[in-house]
DNA sequence: ACCTCCCGCCACTTC
DNA sequence: GAAGTGGCGGGAGGT
């Protein structure tokens, strides 16, 4: 009997692989293209070897799924339903025969054998089941094909409970790959709608500020690490403006749910979770999301009070379910991020790059986060203005409202809906890869526009605007809120509601304080964790990311540090352009005022052992350099060339840019008071991975353009060339600060030993990382140069907050930052140590204040 | 011990 | 009331 199975299985394989047309016609539902089927089957039966020799189950060591016995198991579990299906239709077998076959199998095998012949747990996984499910249908079904899915049929053919099919279908539904037609029946759309859906999800995710939420969660995790159990509630506490939001299912026009039952459970359903999960990937850079963060965000959005462990576990379970299906769709891939805490499961987006939707009307969802309308902060007001035309903010998902609108639109849209017009959607994202040249051109244009606009703007408002605000100049939509942003940046009295504030900061942002309090200009560096990092790997706040967003376009580059090589590779081309707009937008949302910093600091650190914050403005005056729990106030005048020199030389010594492993330091910093002299004295290995953010005094005009050149940097095609240097010169020339043809050395000090990306190249880190890092350091150099040139601009290590700075006077707070291996004393040791030959150590040592998390991303087979 | 996630109970919804 | 859906969490297989 077992032989019969193998024979039938081969028949099955042959049919699948060749996928003959007659065969397709026989089936009620369209078969997937042979390629896919083949891959699926390959997975099911990969190189199993001599199938002609039926294995004896006893001889096979258990546990190896690809042993002969495993083949048998697979045969039974996977092939049998298919065989039955096909043979049924061919009239060779009927159901009774199948049953009989199974029965015979059972009889022929002993209890133990039969037990072993049963598919293992793995072979019954949802992922594999989903593979089989997907193999039944074409990616892009034609309209001629009958794409109805009968759940009963499928369940029977796949030999699973219908319950499992629901799991799959629900996720597919969230991507609009299927839609429910009626009881027990679904329509298969394949991937026709996928790109639209992803675009929409990305947009909604951005609007929902998932990036910031991720950021906050990571920050809180870090704080939790620092402060122990005390802050547990903070760690799990939902964050962001969406605390009270119940984001609902995002629908596409023409894809509305037809069953009320579905609608009634939408809010909790796997569908919504799935969409949110996908959103997290789409708004993250790199597109890696850990289950933990995802679960927290999803929980946070539901109910703040339901933060017990069981809820969390349940969420994780559901996320696994979703992830399995998404993995089968090849949209995500399982990876692991390794940090100090240990190895954490995460998933990496491997689906199509999702470009910002340029045609909002066609992809506008009928749903928006319900909280949108609730926001009243200036920030939210500003945010509202970003999407005035869409009117989405005015909607909440009320079924009656939505249905009213949809019913009128639906029919018409359905006519044009993707399922019936594959060619239309096929031009979308799936072909994104082919649009790279245009993307690059677009990117270049954007950068150019930015540069020009910024230069102009800089001259006019140099002393008034933050660099971040200026960066927005190229973003049309952001411009609308610029007055707000600008004024808020300058108006210390403008205090952001605490609940919203943390989410506003996408990056550590230097803020120019009006020199009303003292003659000293201050740069305030907010907590890096609010920076754009978001994207990043689970609970691995990356200083690079957090610190540089607005200045060095860290969004697009720093995250590279955290990417796997594969990811970096895939991102280099398409990612930058695609993410640029979003990144810029995020950058422009930064609003800082001293009070905000203080308030925010208070809020964030309230339960923290880090209580260093001087939360009155007086401190700004009285304290040379005032410590902020989440940032620094650094008198620019004190950030002397001297200090920078020390830093740079140190970096130089330490082989700075080396970042061989996926090792990242935490962005969390800023709790250590740092004076200029301290900076000077400190050796900062952390600079290895710490992008700089620098402050520009009103009189300094050279630095700002450099800052604004981040986009240029990002588009720079030559990773070896020092982009910052070129940009610096270009900018200076552009601004008329130096005559054309004159080249300014970024850093005379370092000139003899140009900061070379070589160390980075030597490392496993990709060129992107190297470029990024090289750029960062060059920027530092540039800043130094400006300072040297007598401009009062100063370079302030942004994440230097994460820099190992040993406080002159021991403060309790700082203790928290010396938990990293080596302890407080290690600072001096590290400081005095020569360049770290290995970038990893350098990084680790450098981040004495940060949760020294060694982050490694490994990819697993799901 | 922890990670994964299958499995099926059972509440809710629809027919 | 039966059938369809799907939330949910126990607990077992896998690592």
What DSSP string describes A224-290? HHHHGGGGHHHHHS--STTTT--------TT-----HHHHHTGGGSHHHHHHHHHHHHHH-SS-EEE
Residue A496, both tokens: 């952001």
The reply to whether A118 Cβ lies less than 7 angstroms from strand C is no
A666 in Cβ contact with A527 (< 8 Å)? no
- What is the rounded distance in angstroms from the CA atom of residue A691 to the CA atom of residue A133? 47
The reply to whether A61 Cβ lies less than 7 angstroms from strand C is no
Burial (CB < 10 A; 0-12, 13-18, 19+), residue A77, is buried
How many other C-beta atoms lie within 10 A of the C-beta of residue A65? 16
Name the E strands within A359-406: none
Protein residue nearest nucleotide B8, by CA to C1' = A163
A169 in Cβ contact with A186 (< 8 Å)? yes
User: Nearest nucleotide by C1' from A261 CA?
Assistant: B13
DSSP A514: P
- What is the rounded distance in angstroms from the CA atom of residue A426 to the CA atom of residue A352? 12
User: Nearest nucleotide by C1' from A313 CA?
Assistant: C9
A838 in Cβ contact with A719 (< 8 Å)? no
First to last CA, chain A: 32
- What is the rounded distance in angstroms from the CA atom of residue A207 to the CA atom of residue A382? 12
A24 in Cβ contact with A131 (< 8 Å)? no
Residue with tokens 């008329």: A736
- What is the rounded distance in angstroms from the CA atom of residue A242 to the CA atom of residue A463? 35
Nearest Cα to A613, choosing from A672, A541, A666? A672
Q: Report, in ranges, which bases of strand C sit under 7 Å from a protein C-beta.
A: 4-11, 13-15
The per-residue b/e assignment along A402-422, b for 16 or more CB within 10 angstroms, e otherwise, is: bbeebeeebeebeeebbbbeb
Q: Give me the CA A677–C1' C6 separation in Å, rounded.
A: 62
Protein residue nearest nucleotide C8, by CA to C1' = A314
The per-residue b/e assignment along A314-336, b for 16 or more CB within 10 angstroms, e otherwise, is: ebbebbbbbbbbbbbbebbbbbb
Protein residue nearest nucleotide C12, by CA to C1' = A121
- What is the rounded distance in angstroms from the CA atom of residue A700 to the CA atom of residue A705? 10
Amino acid A374: pLDDT:
34
The reply to whether A132 Cβ lies less than 7 angstroms from strand B is no
- What is the rounded distance in angstroms from the CA atom of residue A353 to the CA atom of residue A325? 19
Amino acid A215: pLDDT:
76
* A725: Cα separation from own chain's centroid: 30
What are the distances in angstroms from CA A660 to CA A86, A176, A557, A792? 53, 41, 16, 35
User: Nearest nucleotide by C1' from A308 CA?
Assistant: C9
The reply to whether A73 Cβ lies less than 7 angstroms from strand B is no
Q: Give me the CA A571–C1' C3 separation in Å, rounded.
A: 48
The reply to whether A125 Cβ lies less than 7 angstroms from strand B is yes
Residue A138, both tokens: 């074409």
- What is the rounded distance in angstroms from the CA atom of residue A511 to the CA atom of residue A469? 10
Residue with tokens 């990311």: A545
Q: Give me the CA A317–C1' C8 separation in Å, rounded.
A: 10
A485 in Cβ contact with A494 (< 8 Å)? no
The reply to whether A830 Cβ lies less than 7 angstroms from strand B is no
User: Nearest nucleotide by C1' from A334 CA?
Assistant: B4
Amino acid A101: pLDDT:
52
Sign of the CA dihedral with A721 first, then A723, A729, and A730 last: positive
The reply to whether A317 Cβ lies less than 7 angstroms from strand C is yes
Rounded to the nearest 5°, which phi and psi values hold at A267? Answer: -60, -30
Local structure of A124: helix, strand or coil: helix
Give the helix/strand (H/E) hosting A485.
Answer: helix A482-490
Q: Give me the CA A171–C1' C6 separation in Å, rounded.
A: 12
The reply to whether A324 Cβ lies less than 7 angstroms from strand C is no
User: Nearest nucleotide by C1' from A123 CA?
Assistant: B6
- R_g over Cα of chain A: 29
Q: Report, in ranges, which bases of strand B sit under 7 Å from a protein C-beta.
A: 3-9, 12-15
Chain A residues 127 to 186 whose Cβ lies within 7 Å of strand C are 151-152, 162-163, 166, 169-170, 180, 182-185
Residue A827, both tokens: 């600072």
Nearest Cα to A383, choosing from A454, A300, A472? A472
Burial (CB < 10 A; 0-12, 13-18, 19+), residue A166, is middle
The per-residue b/e assignment along A735-764, b for 16 or more CB within 10 angstroms, e otherwise, is: bebbeeeeebbbbebbeeebbbbebbbebe
Local structure of A185: helix, strand or coil: strand
The residues facing A336 across adjacent strands are A345, A858
β-pairing verdict for A631-635 and A626-628: antiparallel
A330 in Cβ contact with A319 (< 8 Å)? no
Q: Give me the CA A328–C1' C7 separation in Å, rounded.
A: 23
A130 in Cβ contact with A170 (< 8 Å)? no
Q: Give me the CA A497–C1' C14 separation in Å, rounded.
A: 48
Protein residue nearest nucleotide C9, by CA to C1' = A314
The reply to whether A163 Cβ lies less than 7 angstroms from strand B is yes
The per-residue b/e assignment along A134-161, b for 16 or more CB within 10 angstroms, e otherwise, is: bbbbbbbbeeebebebbbebbbbbbbbe
A393 in Cβ contact with A384 (< 8 Å)? yes
Q: Give me the CA A621–C1' B2 separation in Å, rounded.
A: 52
Rounded to the nearest 5°, which phi and psi values hold at A347? Answer: -135, 145
Protein residue nearest nucleotide B12, by CA to C1' = A261
Amino acid A115: pLDDT:
58
A290 in Cβ contact with A238 (< 8 Å)? no
Amino acid A317: pLDDT:
92
For residue A353, is the peptide bond before it cis, meaning its omega torsion is within 30 degrees of 0? no
What are the distances in angstroms from CA A712 to CA A398, A691, A726? 44, 16, 10
Q: Give me the CA A627–C1' C2 separation in Å, rounded.
A: 68
Amino acid A522: pLDDT:
27
* A417: Cα separation from own chain's centroid: 30
Q: What angle do CA A519, A524, A526 make, to 5 degrees?
A: 170
The reply to whether A73 Cβ lies less than 7 angstroms from strand C is no
Local structure of A626: helix, strand or coil: strand
Q: How many Cα atoms occupy the beta-carbon half-sphere of A594 within 13 Å?
A: 25
Overall pTM > 0.75: no
Q: Give me the CA A183–C1' B15 separation in Å, rounded.
A: 9
**Spans of chain A, pLDDT less than 50:** 1-99, 229-245, 257-263, 302, 306, 359-736, 738-855, 861-862
Amino acid A333: pLDDT:
87
Amino acid A858: pLDDT:
57
- What is the rounded distance in angstroms from the CA atom of residue A367 to the CA atom of residue A251? 7
Q: Give me the CA A60–C1' B1 separation in Å, rounded.
A: 28
Query: HEC profile for A234-246?
Result: HHHCCCCCCCCCC
Local structure of A41: helix, strand or coil: helix
Amino acid A320: pLDDT:
92
The reply to whether A342 Cβ lies less than 7 angstroms from strand C is no
The reply to whether A309 Cβ lies less than 7 angstroms from strand B is no
């Amino acid at each position: 009997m077992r032989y019969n199975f193998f024979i039938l299985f081969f028949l099955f394989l042959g049919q699948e692989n060749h996928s003959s047309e007659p065969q397709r016609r026989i089936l009620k539902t369209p078969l997937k293209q042979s390629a896919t089927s083949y891959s699926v089957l390959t997975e099911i039966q990969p190189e199993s070897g001599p199938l002609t020799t039926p294995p004896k189950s006893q001889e096979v060591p258990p546990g190896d799924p690809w042993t002969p016995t495993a083949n048998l198991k697979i045969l039974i579990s996977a092939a049998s339903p298919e065989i039955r299906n096909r043979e049924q239709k061919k009239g060779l077998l009927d159901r009774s025969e199948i049953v009989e076959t199974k029965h015979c199998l059972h009889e022929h095998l002993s209890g133990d054998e039969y037990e072993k012949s049963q598919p293992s747990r793995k072979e019954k996984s949802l992922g594999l089941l989903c593979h089989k499910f997907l193999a039944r249908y074409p990616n892009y079904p034609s309209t001629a094909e009958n794409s109805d899915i009968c759940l009963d049929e499928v369940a029977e053919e796949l030999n699973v409970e219908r319950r499992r099919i629901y799991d799959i279908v629900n996720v597919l539904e969230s991507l609009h790959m299927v839609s429910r037609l009626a009881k027990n029946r679904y329509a298969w759309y394949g991937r026709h709608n996928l790109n639209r859906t992803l675009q929409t999800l990305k947009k909604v995710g951005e609007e929902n500020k998932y990036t910031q939420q991720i950021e906050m969660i990571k920050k809180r995790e870090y704080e939790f690490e620092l402060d122990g159990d005390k802050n547990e509630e903070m760690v799990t506490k939902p964050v962001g403006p969406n605390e009270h939001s119940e984001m609902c299912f995002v629908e596409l026009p023409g894809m509305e749910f037809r069953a009320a039952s579905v609608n009634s459970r939408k809010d909790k359903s796997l569908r919504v979770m799935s969409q949110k999960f996908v959103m997290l990937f789409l708004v993250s850079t790199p597109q890696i999301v850990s289950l933990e963060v995802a679960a927290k965000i999803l929980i946070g959005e539901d109910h703040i009070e339901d933060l017990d462990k069981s809820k969390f576990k349940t969420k994780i379970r559901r996320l696994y379910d979703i992830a399995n299906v998404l993995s089968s769709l090849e949209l995500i891939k399982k990876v692991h991020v390794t940090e100090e805490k240990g190895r954490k499961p995460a998933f990496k987006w491997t689906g199509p790059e999702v470009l910002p939707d340029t045609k909002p009307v066609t992809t506008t969802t009928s749903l928006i986060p319900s909280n949108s309308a609730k926001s009243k902060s200036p920030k939210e007001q500003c945010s509202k203005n970003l999407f005035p035309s869409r009117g989405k903010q005015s909607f909440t998902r009320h079924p009656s409202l939505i249905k009213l609108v949809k019913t009128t639109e639906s029919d018409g849209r359905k006519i044009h809906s993707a399922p019936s017009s594959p060619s239309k959607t096929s031009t979308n994202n799936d072909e994104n890869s082919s649009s790279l040249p245009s993307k690059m051109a677009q990117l270049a244009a954007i950068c150019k526009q930015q540069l020009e606009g910024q230069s102009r703007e800089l001259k006019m408002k140099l002393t008034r605007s933050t660099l971040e605000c200026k960066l927005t100049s190229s973003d049309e939509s952001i411009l609308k809120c610029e007055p707000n942003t600008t004024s808020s940046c300058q108006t210390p009295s403008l205090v952001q509601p605490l609940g919203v504030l943390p989410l506003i900061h996408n990056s550590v942002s230097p803020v120019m304080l009006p020199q009303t309090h003292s003659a000293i200009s201050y740069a305030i560096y907010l907590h890096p964790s609010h920076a754009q990092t978001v994207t990043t790997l689970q609970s691995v706040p990356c200083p690079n990311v957090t610190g540089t967003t607005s200045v060095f376009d860290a969004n697009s580059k720093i995250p590279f540090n955290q990417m796997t090589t594969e990811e970096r590779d895939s991102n280099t081309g398409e990612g930058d352009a695609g993410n640029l707009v979003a990144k810029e937008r995020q950058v422009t949302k930064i609003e800082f005022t001293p009070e905000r910093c203080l308030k925010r600091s208070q809020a964030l650190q309230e339960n923290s052992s880090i209580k260093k914050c001087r939360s009155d403005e007086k401190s700004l005056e009285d304290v040379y350099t005032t410590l902020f729990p989440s940032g620094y106030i650094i008198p620019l005048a004190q950030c002397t060339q001297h200090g920078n020199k020390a830093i740079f030389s140190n970096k130089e010594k330490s082989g700075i840019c080396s970042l061989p492993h996926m090792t990242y330091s935490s962005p969390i910093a800023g709790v250590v008071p740092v004076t200029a002299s301290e900076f000077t004295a400190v050796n900062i290995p952390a600079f290895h991975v710490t992008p700089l953010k620098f402050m520009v005094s009103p009189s300094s005009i050279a630095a700002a353009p450099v800052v604004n050149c981040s986009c240029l940097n990002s588009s720079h095609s030559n990773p070896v060339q020092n982009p910052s240097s070129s940009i610096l010169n270009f900018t200076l020339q552009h601004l008329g600060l130096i005559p054309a043809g004159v080249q300014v050395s970024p850093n005379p000090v370092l000139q003899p030993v140009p900061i070379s990306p070589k160390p980075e190249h030597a490392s496993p880190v990709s060129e992107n990382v190297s470029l990024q890092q090289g750029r960062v350091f060059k920027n530092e150099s540039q800043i130094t140069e400006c300072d040297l040139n007598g401009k009062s601009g100063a370079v302030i290590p942004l994440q230097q907050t994460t820099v190992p700075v040993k406080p002159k006077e021991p403060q309790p707070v700082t203790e928290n930052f010396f938990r990293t291996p080596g302890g407080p004393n290690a600072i001096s040791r590290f400081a005095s140590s020569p360049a770290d030959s290995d970038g990893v150590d350098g990084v680790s040592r450098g981040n004495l204040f940060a949760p020294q998390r060694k982050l490694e991303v490994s990819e697993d087979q799901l």
